[in-house]
Amino acid sequence: MKKKLILLALVTLSLVTFAACGKKKEEAPTLKEDFIELVQVEIPEAEKNEIAIMTTYNNYFKNGSEIDTGVLLSDLENNIIPKYEEFLKQVQTIETDFDEVKAVKDQYYTAMDYQLKALNKVKDALKEEEADYQAEAGELLKKAEEEYDKYLAAVNDIAMQNNITIKNSSDSEETSGEEASSEEK
């Protein structure tokens, strides 16, 4: 009986050892893969929410229509700003493996945060009926655009340095080189 137990233990140990040898270790992503995941998957996915939020906001101003400031204020407080804050939390939770890629994500976040600040300033302008706040909101929007341009430049720089082609939403190429995909070519 003792020999059978020892034999069973040896067989089990052998099976576990051989099974472990067959497993491949997951390789860490390369900078290219991390970057492509950020700019072609993670940010575009989050941006869908941002686009929907800003469409709601911008619909108040289309066709030069009369704006019901009470309705706009209520929508800013109860819908637009809370959803924008959730969008920014979504961006914050995006994980990256390389400092260069994290810097790009942080630049994007900074641009979008200025836009949130502008929305809050519009809300304050409506609440306080303060024209100066509207001008400040305009300045914050300009700053958001400047920061977004810095984000695009950072994306372009990394893409150029790593020979990656980034395709925008209309599938036109922005940077020549290796096509953006999650597979190395």
Can you tell me which residue has the tokens 């209520």? 74
Residue 25: which pLDDT band, with cuts at 50, 70 and 90?
Answer: low
Is pLDDT above 80 for 131? yes
Q: List pLDDT tens digits, range 36-86.
A: 999 999 999 999 999 999 999 999 888 877 888 999 999 999 999 999 999
CA distance 43 to 34: 12
| CA angle, 89 then 92 then 97, to 5° | 155
CA distance 121 to 110: 16
Structure confidence at residue 149 (pLDDT): 97
**82: which 2 tokens?**
């809370």
Please, where are the H alpha helices in the chain?
A: 2-22, 31-37, 43-58, 69-75, 81-92, 99-128, 131-161
Predicted model pTM: 0.76
Are the beta carbons of 165 and 173 closer than 8 angstroms?
Answer: yes
Residue 172: which pLDDT band, with cuts at 50, 70 and 90?
Answer: very low
CA distance 97 to 67: 46
If one compares 170 and 158, the residue with the highest pLDDT of the two is 158
Taken in order 87, 95, 141, 175, is the CA torsion positive or negative? negative
If one compares 182 and 116, the residue with the highest pLDDT of the two is 116
Is pLDDT above 70 for 178? no
Structure letter (DSSP) for residue 173:
B
